[in-house]
Chains A and B, each alone.
Chain A
Amino acid sequence: MRLLWSWASGALAALTLAGLAQAAPAAHPNFDGVWLVDRRYNVQAGTAPMDGSPVPFLEWTKALKEASVKSEAAGLPWSANNQRCLVAGTLRAFKGNFPWEMVHTDKALILLFEEDGRVNPIPFRDHHKKHLKPTWYGDPIARWDGDTVVVDTIGFNEKTPFVSSTWHTSALHTVMRYRLINDGKNLEVRTTIEDPGAYSKPWETMVVFNRMPPGYKLRDYRCIENNQDLPPTGLFGPE
């Protein structure tokens, strides 16, 4: 009996360990934290391919960009969405002086922006919604690729330029790859931008964020409170 019990308990232990070893998911990094764009990327983020090549504009997007650059040089900048207290879109919202927070759960990444307290939840899901209606943030879905979270987004409306005058259509498809670098002190986000209605080929941009110290909190910012900067120029140039 003792031998039988010994055998049974040993077998049970072996099976249990095997089960745990199979059932235990691979550990993933956690992206929880408050992040602020590294200053070196504040201007470049989302506006230029990371390989140094020019943005592969189509003719109409190139014409818009050139007109806006000319207007800015003359002291009449075209307004970006945030100047009008509109949703800036994730790429634009990453840039600038405002921090943002990542809340990382096993069901979703939730991006909280200090700028107007906006929220962009990104569920871990393997399919986009059917019958998408275009929205400001589109329909983002996330999956793991090793230690990298890959966020695939379609379903954008056409109201959110990356920065002023870098436009897209509702055919926009972005793939954002989030990964921790530099022993977790920094978060790197590479974005592939694909939109045959606006660009002649896909292009990739990159932005890097600094992790803010423990206890660093998002504060209150409400653009509409006293916006005195509604510009004389419209989103597509002078009105």
Chain B
Amino acid sequence: MSKPLFAFAALTGAAALAATAGSASAHHSYAMFDAQVTLTVPGTVVSWDWTNPHSFLQVISETGQHWSLEAASPSLLSRNGVTRNTFKPGDKVTVKLHPRRDKTEGGSLLSATLTDGRTVLFEAARPPRPAEAPAQ
């Protein structure tokens, strides 16, 4: 069998989980969200829309704002333990998000913490952009 061009670290399922943990970048550019800003919003779940290409968590904040928070597709989320039943209308949650640049009440969902203490993670740390092509 051919030798690899360069040594890989152990390429375990950890890489696969990181890749499927829910980045929005599969469907469209992430530039529509402000990745330099993270908002924390406590509120109540209106609905958990389990759809392609993105699932949406709809949350009413304590100040009455309706946030539409985008997550990955069901095919990707389900590999990370998220299901169509993870949230129900009426659940109290505290969400973290990168807001939309156009200032509408929407964003990329990073995490949601429920009152039982569980935190559901949606956005693995995005990989650093390589500064140059990998070494040969």
Contact = CB atoms under 8 A, between A and B. Distances in A.
Contacts of A231: 28
A226 B70 CA distance: 12
The secondary-structure label for the interface of chain B is: loop
Interface in A56-75: 72-73, 75
Given A38-B15, A43-B130, A180-B1, A97 B25 contact: yes
Nearest to B55: A226
B37 interface: no
Nearest to B24: A229
B39 interface: no
Contact of B31 (A77, A98, A206): A77
Interface stretch (B59-67, B71-79, B85-93, B112-120): B71-79
B51 A180 contact: no
Interface residues of A, number: 59
Contact of B16 (A43, A147, A212): A212
A39 B31 contact: no
A201 interface: no
A239 interface: no
B27 A229 contact: yes
Nearest to A232: B102
Contact of B27 (A78, A212, A223): A223
Contact of B1 (A73, A82, A184): A184
Contacts of B132: 52
Given A85-B53, A229-B28, 13 more contacts: A39-B18, A43-B129, A75-B31, A77-B29, A80-B29, A82-B26, A164-B29, A182-B8, A183-B1, A220-B74, A222-B52, A225-B51, A226-B52
Interface of B: 1-5, 8, 11, 13, 15-16, 18-20, 23, 25-29, 31-32, 34, 49, 51-54, 56, 72-76, 78-79, 101-102, 127, 129-130, 132-134, 136
16 contacts: A49-B133, A75-B34, A77-B32, A79-B28, A80-B28, A82-B28, A115-B26, A181-B4, A182-B8, A184-B1, A221-B75, A222-B52, A223-B52, A224-B52, A228-B56, A231-B28
Top-6 shortest CB links A-B: A77-B29, A219-B75, A75-B101, A226-B51, A97-B26, A225-B52
